[in-house]
Structure 1
Amino acid sequence: MEAKFEALLRLGDNALILGHRVSEWCGHAPVLEEDIALANTALDLLGQTNLWLEYAGEVEGKGRSADDLAFLRDAWDFRNVLLVELPNGDFGQTILRQFLFDAFNLLNLRALTGSSDPRIAEIAEKAAKEAAYHVDRSSGTVIGLGDGTDESHRRMQDALNLLYPYAMELFITDEVDAEMAKAGVIPSPDTLKAEYDALVNGVIAEATLEKPEAHFGHRGAGKTGKMHTEHLGHLLTQMQWLQRAYPGNAW
């Protein structure tokens, strides 16, 4: 059960940390429509977080709730990829990061609907509907900004150069992935790479952007918990402070 717990943490933590990052735009987006859209995206991700972490707590069997796992773990216990914990940057960088994650999340969730674990399949089926909308929206915005003005194009290219190497961590596999894939519970991430490349490359081309030529990719430090960026600690300080200051309180 330990491998399944780890796998569920990865699913939940990716959604949790990105959801928090996106929520930081609330009241600060460039236009009202984007403010509302980003807030709704954050809410969808936090809803997915609750489902994954609630199940993770049950699998662990130590009585920890989804809230406990979200608010009472330290940075080294989180299993999210580095991509989702990076600062928002400008609006273009936020949208480009969202698309790179959305594309993977949709493909992964669709694969998870065929999981040998009925609970995982059920969660994935619900979440995949939201993820499909997220991909449609983020990809369309990437194309609009990339193929927009000289300034928006430059910013989107800068964002792609920065973020694309981080996206490669999504496909790193380890013992947890191998065990879960062998049991038919969760697909091995590397099996999604070809479809991901086809989706991402198509959007990048339509956005008139150039994918970085370097083959460097960050090597799974976040998903294993071995290393996170300094940004995760600052994020958790904001996200967890209320529960840490008033432990055990509930709405």
Structure 2
Amino acid sequence: MTTDLSKLPPVDPEVPNAARMYDYFLGGSHNFAADRAAVERITAVMPFATQVIHANRYFLGRAVRFCVREGIDQFLDLGSGIPTVGNVHEAARETTPTARVAYVDNEPVTVASAAALLDGDPLTSITAADLRDPDDVLAASGVRDLLDFSRPVALLTLSVMQFVHDDAEAAGLLAEYRSRLAPGSLHALSHVTGDHDAAELSAAEDEYRSTANPGLLRTREQVAALLGDVELVEPGIVDVTEWRSEDMVGEQHRGMWAGVGRIG
């Protein structure tokens, strides 16, 4: 299932975009020269930026596998980016071949690339929508027709809420999504922070201001507020390198808080 690509807005290849930059950080090819130049500027002021991005990707895999072990076989991935190597449906299907994944993003190249990558897979979808509109997201055919909201769903919001700058709005949006999910659902979240390596993270934040998606650093307390009243699973809110980190080896640079909580 894919979104209607004819409805996608035009792309300005001269303006760096966070989703395409993320793709480049991960070694992908779905990006433009402006995206690559922006990443190079960020790594110049934050040399370990690529390590942080990869650590977040590893967390994604661990969180998905945890959700599967908890009996969840359907996922709603908001701000998903391009589902390339280490994606949600691959991680989930390591043990649950029938896992369903609804990807949602609002960046045209990301959506078009995902549509091509997911073509022929009836258990995945890509929807072009803005997570700031939960009604639109949840009513989209790629979400509504793929996921059964009478059963638990894993809500994934990884490295995306920094693009919603108002704290109250960000918390309210996530609370609204969680309110639509069945008891037993899980919410996995990661978010950039300046609590560690503050100078480098602040410099990277400055660089993001010249992109289409300025990001916002949040403290651990602010990230905790985004998770609201969920019941946090162990080890609680920790750096992405420390959340059940069986696949992280050696010292890692820190830069993102992460947590997973039970809903209802």
TM over 0.5: no
TM score, norm. by length of structure 2:
0.29
TM score, norm. by length of structure 1:
0.30
Q: Specify which structure has the bigger relative contact order, considering alpha-carbon pairs within 8 angstroms and separated by 6 or more residues.
A: 1
**Higher-helix-fraction structure:** 1
**Higher-strand-fraction structure:** 2
